[in-house]
Structure 1
Amino acid sequence: MQVQVQTDSHIDGREKLIEHVEGVILDAVDRYAGEVTHVDAHLGDVNGSDKGGDADMRCLLQARVSGVKDIVVKHQAGSLHLAIEGAAGKLTNALESALGRSHDRQRRHAGTGKLSADIARELDDGKMSDG
């Protein structure tokens, strides 16, 4: 999976910041790493560098996911790190919503058929006890 970090002109795009963003994103999509092919992170200062505020920093994440439309989430906060963490949490939730149900269906479908057949056979053969 590829992670690309872009910043606006008010954010210092240092290597340490990029490594931090990559690590947070990789943790956020870990469960769905097989389906997520690419994540773009867009970091920005909403009000410009000379003004502050409670929601001054923005992190927008766009994940490309196999078999699903792109997933885009955004979070604004008072600091860049809080914006990144908030967006990563939203991305995890969005992936869970988009992909979790399909994973659950696949697990239930694969397990239910065989398990049900085995239980039915044992019931027919009188091998199961009421314990």
Structure 2
Amino acid sequence: MQIQINTDKNIDGNERLVSFYTSELEKELARFDDKITRVEVHFGDENSEKFSKNDKRCLIEVRIVKKEPLAVTEYADTIEKAFYGAITKIKKVLTVANEKMHQH
């Protein structure tokens, strides 16, 4: 499973951030590892320096072998909360997709 972490200009995409979120994704999506070819994470801050509620965005796109990509987006007041919210959503989507593949 290839993992790519992207940030917009308002979020520092340093090595520590990339390393942490990569390891979290590997751990959280381990049971789907044989079906996933690539995961892309996009972090963004919708309001730049201004503070507002739920202005941090995390979009997770998962590419599955021989299937269309699946994507979810979560907004929160920190990138950590947005990330874990998006992880919860993508795991649900992957579980449903996995069940449908086994039914056919």
Matches within 5 A, 1:8-47: 8-47=8-47
Structure 1 runs not aligned, ≥5 long: 107-131
| Matched residue SS, 1:72 | strand
| TM-score with structure 2 setting the length | 0.92
**Is the Cα–Cα contact under 8 Å of residues 42 and 59 in structure 1 kept in the other structure?**
yes
Could you tell me how far apart the structure 2 residues matched to 1:72 and 1:82 are? 17
**Is the Cα–Cα contact under 8 Å of residues 28 and 89 in structure 1 kept in the other structure?**
no
| Matched residue SS, 2:74 | strand
| Matched residue SS, 1:55 | coil
**Is the Cα–Cα contact under 8 Å of residues 41 and 59 in structure 1 kept in the other structure?**
yes
Higher relative contact order (CA 8 A, sep 6+): 2
Alpha-carbon offset, residue 23 of structure 1: 1.8
Structure-2 residue corresponding to 1:57: 56
Q: Normalized per residue, which structure has more helix?
A: 1
Structure 2 runs not aligned, ≥5 long: none
In the alignment, residue 56 of structure 1 is paired with which amino acid?
Answer: D
Structure 1 runs of 4+ with >3 Å offset: none
Alpha-carbon offset, residue 57 of structure 1: 0.6
User: Cα deviations across residues 76-121 of structure 1 (Å, max 9, x unaligned)?
Assistant: 1000100111111111111001113334x48xxxxxxxxxxxxxxx
